[in-house]
A and B are shown apart, each in its own frame.
Chain A
Amino acid sequence: GAGVSQTPSNKVTEKGKYVELRCDPISGHTALYWYRQSLGQGPEFLIYFQGTGAADDSGLPNDRFFAVRPEGSVSTLKIQRTERGDSAVYLCASSPEDRGNEAFFGQGTRLTVV
């Protein structure tokens, strides 16, 4: 079956612009996670959704970052007033309700802020 899908795969934007990154989880998975992976680092947690609600947003670095999951499926990560330090690969993962500790990852969106 289809895995976690992230679009776009690559995004180049100018400093100060607004960007949206999309994640389509595996069908039926209730949990959805966003991570950010900077060059040479492991992924860092940003936010976790259980259904439509954000169960844990403690990893969002500041109020320029926001994420939604209005219907409990697709999620969008939104970044306002982008800065060069936001450049990274943004990873999305999903988990089924009954195996909450196994996360299935998408291929990521590489964001470059110039």
Chain B
Amino acid sequence: AQSVTQLDSQVPVFEEAPVELRCNYSSSVSVYLFWYVQYPNQGLQLLLKYLSGSTLVKGINGFEAEFNKSQTSFHLRKPSVHISDTAEYFCAVSKTGGGNKLTFGTGTQLKVEL
């Protein structure tokens, strides 16, 4: 079984400041890794994903994440946030090689302030 830990339930940050949202996972098998964003009253939207290859992946809206196998982490970063980035962010994993169900973390609420 897989599990995902997002230690920070809320992250307040000022506009134009950098931000890092932390994600650690546990799995006995190889996994794919994802970050989803949920804006208020909207569905989940894929930000980025790691399937294989380069451990640094770039996503939409200027976000990027780095897969670190030894630390079982997949932290999400953005060098300069905007008010419009205020949302709930979910880290998720799925097993490689079939069975596409996602296991999600509990989410991190990013609040960008002026």
Contact = CB atoms under 8 A, between A and B. Distances in A.
The number of chain A residues touching the other chain, given as a range, is 20 to 34
A43 B100 CA distance: 14
Contact of B51 (A31, A48, A101): A101
Contacts of B104: 42-44
A28 interface: no
Nearest to A9: B41
B100 A100 contact: yes
Given A41-B106, A42-B107, A101-B49, A95 B100 contact: yes
Contacts of A25: none
A22 B31 CA distance: 30
24 contacts: A4-B43, A31-B100, A33-B101, A35-B102, A40-B106, A41-B107, A42-B90, A42-B105, A42-B106, A44-B104, A45-B103, A48-B99, A55-B99, A59-B101, A91-B44, A101-B94, A101-B100, A103-B100, A103-B102, A105-B36, A105-B44, A107-B42, A107-B43, A108-B43
A91 B43 contact: yes
Contacts of B26: none
Contact of B99 (A4, A56, A103, A106): A56
A14 interface: no
Contacts of A102: 46, 49
Interface of A: 3-4, 31, 33, 35, 40-45, 48, 55-56, 59, 91, 93, 95, 100-108
B45 interface: yes
B63 interface: no
B100 A105 contact: no
With a 10 A CB-CB cut-off, give which of B6, B51, B100 has the most chain A CB atoms: B100
With a 10 A CB-CB cut-off, give which of A40, A59, A101, A107 has the most chain B CB atoms: A101
